[in-house]
Each structure stands twice: as C-alpha cells, then as structure tokens.
Amino acid sequence: MKYLDEFRDQDLAAPLLEELRRAVTKPFRIMEVCGTHTMAIFRNGLRSLLPEGLELISGPGCPVCVTSASHIDAILTMAEQPKVRIALFGDLFRVPGSSGLSLAYASSQGAKVDIVYSPMDSLELAKKHPQELVIFLGVGFETTTPGIAATILAAHNSGVDNFAVFSTHKVMPPPLIALLNDPELQIDGLLCPGHVSTIIGAGAYQPLVDKYGLACVVGGFEPADILQALILLARQVGQGEARVENAYTRAVRWEGNSRAQQMVSEIFEPVDMEWRGLGTIPLSGLAIRDSYDHFDAEKRLDIKLIPTEEPRGCRCGEILKGKERPPQCPLFGSRCTPGNPVGPCMVSSEGTCAAFYKYGG
Ligand code: SF4
C-alpha cells in the first residue's frame, strides 16, 4: 500500500537502526505520547532492537485508557434509559465502569448498543430509528474530534432531532503539561503523536520546549517513521538541544489543519476534564457549546458525573503517567488479561498492558 509499504521496508529500516545506534551517545528516556505509537513499536518488534541507553516509556495518549470510570458509568446510565440507543467505537464496548460492568454487559441485558465505524454511521442510525434518541459516545483526541464536529453540524443542518453526543473528548498538550509538572517523571524528550499533530500542528509543542527544555519530535507510525523520529530525538539529547522537529512531513504541518480546527471550535469549547489515573486536568477536554446544546447528551438526559474509585489493584493510573510498567501490576496476566480485562489499559487495542501481554515486554 503506497505511503505504508515503503516505510515498512527492512532495507530502509536497517540503516536507520544503525544511524540510531550511532546517535545514542548517552542514556536517555523518551515518552511515546500516544497509544498508536506504543502498539506500533511493540508490533514491529522495535523495542528489542533499540540501542542500549535509549529507554521508551508509554504516555497518556490512548483515548480509551484515559476515559474515566465515571464517564463509563454515565454512559451505562444513559444506556439504561428507555428509547435510548448508544453508538460507539468497538474499543469501548468492554471497558468496565466502577462496578466492573461494561456496555457489553448492558447489551447482553437488553440495552440497545451499536458498534459503528464512523460518527456519521450513528447519524444514519438516528435517521433509521426516529423513535429513539441515538447517543454517540465521543471519545478521543484531536484526530477524532473533527469528524464528530462534522457529524453534529450535519445533524444540525439536516434537522435530525434524535441525535446527541456524549463528549469525553480530550486535547493535547494539557495532560503532558500536567505530567511534566510532576518532578517524579524524568524524561528527556517526547515522541509526539503524528495523527493528533495533523490537526494541531507541530507548533503546538513549542511551549513544552520553551518551558521544560524538552526535545520534541513528531513521528509517524511505520517503523521507518519511528526510527527517524528517534534519531532526531537522540541527536537533540546528545547535543544538549531542545526544539520541535517534524519527522512526519508527509502529513503534518507546523500550523496544523486550520479548517478542522475552526470546525471543532464552532461546536466545542475547552473545559476541565477528568482523566483516568490522572485526575481532573484544567482545560484538557471539550464540551459542546451552548449554541449546539440540543446535541449534548449530558444536558439532554440531565446526567451528572459521579466520582468513582479505580478498580482495586489496577495500576493503570501509574502506567499512564509513565511511572510503572504493566508487569509491575500484581493483576497483570493473572486476574487481568485481554479476555478478562480489569482496567482499560488491557481492553484497548492501543493500551500498554494489552501491548505487553500480546507482544511481551
Ligand atoms: S494489568 Fe490490568 S489491572 Fe493491571 S494496570 Fe493493566 S489494565 Fe490495570
């Protein structure tokens, strides 16, 4: 497949790996911010090939993993209401709320739950079921938000009345700032998410360079992309420099996608948001603006978020902060497996625990 196969080419990757070995001149730690990078690094076996001295830790960028139990509880409450149909991406289907129950369980008990591949599919569901309120569970970062904003606009423009979104949308980089303010987290640089950066632009990481002196490199998701980004990070750290570099120029520009940014800000406004394991982070989420509140499921059903506890023993919070690795969780591989997940980091296909379980540390 063009633009993918060539970046998976072993003949391209091998010299990059050599270059990376030469670039690593002292020990350093890099946080790969997003779950897509985490999974790509594991899936392509890159961890076992990395030169000594380069340590990769996973960050808070898996949207399913950081969806709080209280948000899952709220969607379970919505699913129990008569004449409500929930539409969501498949990854969330088995994520447990505070009681350990999930939408998969609710569905088995008769709740109407549909897995969709695009938010527009949920609008089609609303047209097909005019007697029901179809609620799309909006989860994700800037990569998914424009599509959901476009769906709300389409519903508005076509006069569809029985459609709403439960927004748990989150934004970068506020969680990174929250993590970097924690003196326990010792990292030298960030492998910044390529897909999010197509929307927000590489320039969004400049404040992290200015304030924390961190090396920041935007990377794509194929092996050659990741190796190229790591080379640039290793060079910056080795030379004692810190700047934003873009190793994913075929998709990311400095200023991002202004049209998508405008559409998102037409529909959504920044709000404080609760993250699983990280608590509430100022202005790290997006809520539907009052001018479109007819499409806000929380307001429409008068749902209140209730503070909850994390599942007992689950270390997702520490893993999402980059402080622990999955094998340090006492439940890893015993009580918690992909077939029987306790926490979201094991449910999500981009979760660090799922990656460790599937591919080994
Ligand atoms: S192994 Fe399971 S219980 Fe432990 S941190 Fe990961 S998801 Fe949570």
Residue 361 scores a pLDDT above 70: no
pLDDT, position 185? 85
Number of the ligand 1 atom closest to the C-alpha atom of 318: 5
Residue with CA closest to ligand 1 atom 7: 343
pLDDT, position 264? 98
Residue with CA closest to ligand 1 atom 1: 332
Over residues 79-137, the pLDDT tens digits come to 999 999 999 999 889 888 888 889 999 999 999 999 999 999 999 999 999 999 999 99
> Residue 17 Cα, ligand 1 centroid: separation in angstroms?
32
> Residue 34 Cα, ligand 1 centroid: separation in angstroms?
18
The CB of 276 under 6 Å from ligand 1? The reply is no
What is the mean pLDDT of the segment spanning 258-286? 95
What is the mean pLDDT of the segment spanning 38-57? 92
Among the listed residues 35, 92, 88, the one whose alpha carbon sits nearest the alpha carbon of residue 354: 35
Over residues 284-342, the pLDDT tens digits come to 999 999 999 999 999 999 999 998 877 788 999 889 888 899 999 999 999 999 988 88
Q: What is the mean pLDDT of the chain?
A: 93
pLDDT, position 286? 98
pLDDT, position 122? 98
Residue with CA closest to ligand 1 atom 3: 314
> Residue 157 Cα, ligand 1 centroid: separation in angstroms?
43
User: Among 38, 72, 314, which residue has the most ligand 1 atoms within 8 Å of its CB, making it the best to mutate?
Assistant: 314
Residue 214 scores a pLDDT above 90: yes
The CB of 321 under 6 Å from ligand 1? The reply is no
pLDDT, position 7? 83
Number of the ligand 1 atom closest to the C-alpha atom of 345: 7
The residue that leads in pLDDT, 298 or 186, is 298
Quote the longest CA-to-CA distance of the chain. 64
A 10 A CB-CB count for 261 gives: 17
Half-sphere exposure of 190 toward its Cβ, with a 13 Å CA cutoff?
33
Gap between the Cα atoms of 131 and 115, Å rounded: 19
The residue that leads in pLDDT, 66 or 165, is 165
Instruction: For the chain, list the domains and their CATH numbers.
Output: 69-171+258-300 (3.40.50.11740)
The CB of 332 under 6 Å from ligand 1? The reply is yes
Residue 1 scores a pLDDT above 70: no
The pTM (predicted TM-score) of the whole model is 0.91
Residue 167 scores a pLDDT above 80: yes
Residue 4 scores a pLDDT above 80: no
> Residue 334 Cα, ligand 1 centroid: separation in angstroms?
10
Q: Which two tokens stand for residue 104?
A: 């998969």
> Residue 125 Cα, ligand 1 centroid: separation in angstroms?
34
Residue 232 scores a pLDDT above 90: yes
Number of the ligand 1 atom closest to the C-alpha atom of 330: 4
